[in-house]
Structure 1
Amino acid sequence: MNLREQISHYIPYTTQETKEQEVILKYMDTFDNLLARENESAHFTASAWVVNPERTKVLMAYHNIYQSWSWVGGHADGDPDLLQVALKETKEETGLTTISPVTENIYSVEILGVPGHLKKGIPIATHLHLNVTYLIEANEEEKTTVKEDENSAIKWMELEEAIEACTEPDMKVVYRKLNDKLKNYK
């Protein structure tokens, strides 16, 4: 199933996701370069909500640009297999090697506003991340390492602690949704 089909078949968890799914599909019908950062208005990213097998903890990284605890993930950079992007980014940003998707299906969709900032000294304009999130499982006993150019700490947190540790109000809403969905996830 291609990315558009995956997003079309995704069953939104909230009314907000329903609207964002609709808008993402409209973007896909309008632009042909959403998998690349060259689209400076909006492009695809993939995130991982990394949980322990008991699903009582989530792995968070202290993000250098946003100075906040956050999930892991990154830009598609041309790869239409966003699950593989989420897995790759999880390994790169945490040092974990033994991770697996709980399911290959999309766990969540979001449109995230990214304020203008500097990355490696280069100005990045305000834009949108058309984000697809996957539920990833990892062993909390496995050693983690930071990716110094992106984060400065990695920590397993209780589900509620992860929301409290985040300093970005919009992301707290997303993490709360992910945790709520996790409690009811089969």
Structure 2
Amino acid sequence: MSSSALTGIGCYSPQTARDRGMWQRLQAFCRQEPQAFGRNPETGHVTGSAFVMSPDRKNVLLTHHKKLNRWFQLGGHCDGIADVPFVALKEAYEESGLACIRPLSACVFDVDIHEIPPGARECAHLHYDIRYLFQAEAGGIAASGESHALAWVPITRLEDVTDSPGVLVLREKLEPFLSSSC
């Protein structure tokens, strides 16, 4: 499958019907929504996430999200910044306490569009979540105020902490992604 690119997001090579559907929905959203990188819950918005791998690439760093009370990859809102790889890396640093994180590819690893439930100040809305793959190089982990805890979770044991398809996709996509040139 050939790759295509979106300004502010990067290049992506959809491999499955799920991937192609998510990428097409993201492309349409970015064409139609002038504030795609903002934070308007009435229209939804683009978010940036980081799957941070351990140095040996056998574990991924997950955060137990306070607001949603579930285990997820690191990440957050763009808040008007139309540079999603930067946002994903910034969020990874802020939420992990790691001292050095490096990208494993300049390409998008995954796209996952999912609904965020309503909260005290926001209606239910969509996150157009763009995921990138990183590797921890140095530093210990320390949970941020947005998290109950952080944990290095073995890739082979992801289902022990989450049933989220958006996290479990890591296991099926990791090896093919690392062996591709995007």
Q: Is the 8 A contact 2:97 2:139 kept in 1?
A: no
SS at match of 2:85: helix
- Deviation string, structure 1 residues 52-107 (Cα, Å, up to 9, x no partner): 13211000111101111111100011111111101110111111121010011111
User: Which structure 2 residues correspond to residues 106-185 of structure 1 after superposition, within 5 A?
Assistant: 106-118=108-120, 123-139=121-137, 142-148=139-145, 150-166=146-162, 169=163, 171=164, 173-184=165-176, 185=178
Contact 2:9 2:85 in 1 (8 A): no
For residues 19-34 of structure 1, the aligned pairs below 5 Å read 19-34=21-36
Moved over 3 A (4+): 5-9
Flag structure 1 segments of 5+ consecutive residues without an equivalent.
Answer: none
Instruction: Please list the CA deviations of residues 119-155 of structure 1 after superposition, one character each: whole Å capped at 9, or x if unmatched.
Output: xxxx21100011110001004x73111112x101111
Which residue identity does 2:139 align to in structure 1?
Answer: E
Number of corresponding residues? 174
Give the AA of the match of 1:160.
T
- TM-score of the pair, normalised by structure 1: 0.86
Kindly report the root-mean-square deviation, in angstroms, between the aligned alpha carbons of the 2 structures. Answer: 1.8
Uncovered stretches (5+) of structure 2, i.e. residues with no partner = none
Give the letter for the 1:111 counterpart: I
Instruction: Select the structure that is richer in helix.
Output: 1
**Aligned partner letter, 1:65:** K
| Equivalent pair of 2:99/2:140 in contact (CA under 8 Å) | no
Once residues 9 and 103 of structure 1 are traced to their aligned partners in structure 2, the CA distance between those partners, rounded to angstroms, is: 10
